[in-house]
A and B are shown apart, each in its own frame.
Chain A
């Protein structure tokens, strides 16, 4: 083996995968074909999942706080895992009020974020539909999704009504508190904007801007088909209706 052949080998063995696995997929994914609704369906135009909230800033805070170490945001198709079948991860099961809203994660779901927080491990549950299941679970209570999320971030084990199915998670959550996202202020003369969280006499809790962005981002996580049916070509779940009933 000559030295030239050696260097050529080094460049080729790295260069080929670099081209095929990095450069070409990168440029292809950069300009994805928009997917349109079929003619005759109720909706028309291009399918873009709608999300309300501070997506870009919130996604950044989510990354900086390292949430992706314990939470994923990926509903895998059933060839890769059972995520679709786990309670409320992929959306809502069919009830009298609505059709089956479950679906897998799509490339458009990360619109507006710098990086897709796929996640590293599932120490905690998948968050793809965190906003959706929170909304469902809080139905009939007087708590807003924002307040619930603030409380969860401040003190994950102090929440009442923290149930998933039949399990009470108030005591069992292993989520760490993110106290750094809040400021303790004197409640006298603090004006509005204090959270309904009791800490000690005469003190109130105010979220920082980062907390507001993060909470807004978290409750925007509604990646199912409720109110947003899929075009037929993206629908991998033939039982789920793609047209709003």
Chain B
């Protein structure tokens, strides 16, 4: 059973399950297969600068080092804003109601670089569609919670209330 998002318009609540809309699941996908001249399938790897160490896929780990060369553990990090203020962690959108009270324009939606689209489903989807009419609503959205939220624009009755979210493009 999918987790549900709780949308709130006025005093009415709607519990709807989001399903990610993916091109891969709609149209299929292609992969590039590399073979030797005699048809043997090859796999990708890395070669270090010396040319002596073959590095298999997944064998490189990103870590952080201080300027003095010392390893810095992730637990030593804190998140700050540009002005140096500590950034507060935000809750997952699944853990609190999403209030739809802020309308957006088509241009605001066009300003976003859409990174994910979710189709909403649930028993009350029809009622929500009729309440949304042709309006677009905006709200902050974070799937897992954490430090950053994404602008989200939701709700259009044409597609059973699809939620688009993306990061604003500075154009």
Q: Do A and B bind each other?
A: no
